[in-house]
Structure 1
C-alpha cells in the first residue's frame, strides 16, 4: 500500500509540473498578445524536454550521480544539453517559426541551454532528495543496529566473572553446609532475574537499579565476610529512570580491587534537579594510576562503563575518576 501511494504521489507531482509549466506561458502570451501557443509547440516541448528530463531522472542519475560518478555524469549530460539547445533553436526558427529573435543560433541556443539546465535542476531535485533521504535513513538504521549490538556485547561482559565466582563460593559454602548458602542462592537468583528481564531495556526505574546494587552488595558480603559498605541514597527515586548495567561496573570494580586491610566501600546516590549523582570510593592496594594514562591500565568494568556512557548518554554525563593515596574514587553525574 505504501509503494502504491508513493507511485501515485510521484505521478501527481509529475502531472502538476507539466501542467504548470505549460499553463503559465500560455496565459502570459495569451493576455499580453505577444504570441499564441500552438498545439505543435506543446507537443514539441513536451517530447523534447520530457525526453531529456526523464532520461536524466530515470537513467543518468541512478547510473552515475547516485553512485558518486560525478565526472562521468557531467561528461554525459552536458553534450546532451548542448545538442538539445541547438536543436530547439533550429526547430523554433526554421520549422515552428515561433522565435522572432535576431542574431546567430548560438545566442538563442545559449538561452535554451540555461533554461533547460534550470529546468533540469528543478525536476531532478525531488528524486535526489528522496535518494539521499533514503540513504541517510539507511545509515542511521545501520548505526543504530551497530550501537545496539555493541551495547548488548558490553552488557554481556558486565558480570560473567562475578557469576562464576559466586557459583564457586556457593559451591564451597554448600560443601560446608553453611547456613549462608540458601541466602546466597536467593541473592544470585535476584541478580540473574534482573539481568534477564531488565538489562535489555533502554531505561529502568532507578529504584530497581538501586535494588540490584543492594542485592549485589549482599551477595559479595556473603561471599567474603568483613566487607563494610555504606550506601547513602537520597531523592525521590520513583521519579527517575536510568540505563541499566552502568553503575554496577563501578561497584564491581570496587569489590574486585578493594584493599584487604581496609574492607570498606562508600557509596552515594542522589536523584535531584533532573540529574542522578553517583559516587563510589574504596581503598585499593594496587599502584595508583595517574590520570591521563592509557585506558589499558584500567579494569574491564571501567572501560565498559565509559563505553556505555558515551553510547547512552552522549554529552549528558560527567565522569571523574581519581586515583591517589590508595583511594579510588568515581564521581558520575547523569542528566536525565
Structure 2
C-alpha cells in the first residue's frame, strides 16, 4: 500500500471511531430526556444500534462528496449540482431511516411532532435537523481530509527541499575534492622532479587525506575531531613542501564528538595556501585557532600573502564554502579580511541553532 493511501486509511479510520463515540455519547445523553422511563442499559443499547445505522448513511455521503471534490476536471456548476443532489438524497434516506426504522423498531414509538403533522416525515424542522446532522459530519470529514493533505504536501515539499540541498551539497563537494587533489599532485610532481627525499612521505599523507575525503566526506555529518585531524594531515603535507612555513595550530574542543558537515573547515586552509602562503616569496606563516565551547564554534585563520597577489587567482573555493554554509548553517557568521600582507578569516557557527535542515 502506498504511504499516501496508508496514511489516509489510518486517519479516516481514527476519525470514524472518534466520530461514532461522540455521536453515541450525544444521542445517549439526549435520550434520557426523550425517553425518561427507559433504563440506561436499554437507552445505551438503542443508541449504539441506531448510530451504526446512521453511520451507514453518513459514510457513503462523505466519500461521495470527497470524490466529487477531488475531481478537479469537473466544472464548478456540475460540482455544485452534484453535491446538492447527493445531500438532498442523503437527507431523504436519513428521514426514511429515522421515521420507518429507528422510531418504530428501536424506540417502539411513532415519530410525531404535533397534531398537525402526525407523521413528522415531511415536517420542515425534522428535515432541517437531518440536514444539519449530515452537514456537520461532512464538514468534519472535509476538515480532516484537507488537513491531512496539507500536512502530506508539507512533508513532500520538505523532502524535495532536503533532496535538492543534498544534491547541491554533493555537487559543491565534488567541485572541491578534485581541486584539492589536483593541487597536491602538482606539488608531488614538483618534488619528484627534484627527487626530494620527502616525496614518499607526502604521498602517504595524501593517501590518508584522500581516504578521508572519499569515505568520511560522503556522510552528511561527522564528528568535529575527525575534521580537525584531517586539517592536521593536510598541514603536514604542506609543511613538507614548504620548509620555511611557520604553522601555529591551536585547538580546544570541549566536545570532540560534536557533529559538523565534513570539508567545511579544511577549505579555508586550502584557500590560505592557494591564495596566500604558496604565493609568499619570503617566510610564510599560517595561524589556525579552533575553539568549541558549549556548542559554539569559533574558527580563526590568519595567513601571510603578497601585497600584490596575482590577478588571475580564482576564488571558486571561497564561493563554494559560502554556499555550503548558507545551506547548512544559515545563521553562521563569516568575515573575510584582506590586508596588505595578511589574510584573515573568522567563522562562527552555533551548533545549538535548530534552523538548519
In structure 1, the partner of 2:327 is: 311
Q: Measure the CA separation in 1 of the matches of 2:57 and 2:287.
A: 80
In structure 2, do the counterparts of structure 1 residues 272 and 72 end up closer, same or farther at CA, with 3 Å as the change threshold? farther
Match of 1:275 in 2: 296
> Given the alignment of the two structures, is residue 100 of structure 1 paired with residue 120 of structure 2, yes or no?
no
Query: Shift of residue 143 of structure 1?
Result: 2.0
C-alpha separation in 2, matches of 1:4 and 1:86: 31
**Deviation larger for 275-284 or 8-17:** 8-17
| Distance (whole Å) between structure 2 residues aligned to residue 73 and residue 228 of structure 1 | 81
Deviation digits for residues 261-286 of structure 1, max 9, x if unmatched? Answer: 45222221112232221111224447
Structure 1 gaps of 5+ residues are 289-296
Cα pair 1:267 1:279 within 8 Å, conserved: yes
Task: Say which SS state the counterpart of residue 158 (structure 1) adopts.
Answer: helix
Aligned-partner Cα distance in 1 for 2:233–2:99: 92
Contact kept? 1:166, 1:223, Cα under 8 Å? no
Q: 1:182 aligns with which of 179, 184, 200?
A: 200
Are 2:222 and 2:260, in contact at CA under 8 Å, matched by a contact in 1? Answer: yes
Matched-pair contact (CA < 8 Å) for 1:257–1:285:
no
Aligned residues: 323
Corresponding residue of 2:160 = 142
Alignment of 1:169-248 (within 5 A): 169-236=187-254, 238=256, 240-248=258-266
Corresponding residue SS for 2:292: strand
Render the CA deviation track for 1:31-54: whole Å, top value 9, x for unaligned: 43399989x987985555343212
CA RMSD of aligned residues (A): 4.3
Q: Does 1:122 align with 2:145?
A: no
Distance in 1 between the 2:151 and 2:287 partners?
51
Which of 81, 84, 94 lines up with 1:79 in the alignment? 84
CA distance in 1, matches of 2:251, 2:150: 49
Task: Normalising by structure 2, report the TM-score.
Answer: 0.72
Deviates more, 1:6-15 or 1:303-312: 6-15
1:96-121 deviation digits (Å, cap 9, x = unpaired):
98463899977766655444322211
Q: Hey, what's the Cα distance between the residues in 1 that align with 2:100 and 2:258?
A: 78
**Residues 330 and 72 (structure 1 numbering): CA distance in 2 closer, same or farther, change over 3 Å?**
farther
Contact 2:307 2:340 in 1 (8 A): no
Q: CA deviation at 1:322?
A: 2.4
**1:309 to partner: Cα distance:** 1.8
Q: For 2:52 and 2:261, how far apart are their aligned partners in 1?
A: 64
- TM, length-normalised to structure 1: 0.75
Distance 2:326 2:163 in 1: 16
Q: Which residue of 1 aligns with 2:106?
A: none
Contact 1:257 1:286 in 2 (8 A): no
Assess, with a 3 A threshold, how the Cα gap between structure 1 residues 197 and 82 changes in structure 2: closer, same or farther.
closer
Does the CA contact (< 8 Å) of 1:92 and 1:99 recur in 2? no
Q: CA deviation at 1:199?
A: 0.9
Name the SS for the 2:176 alignment partner: coil
| 2:348 aligned residue | 333
The answer to whether the 8 A contact 1:61-1:73 is kept is: no
- Report which stretch shifted further, 229-238 or 180-189: 229-238
2:316 paired with 1:300: yes
Unaligned runs of 5+ in 2: 38-42, 102-109, 352-357
Cα offset, 1:132, TM superposition: 2.8
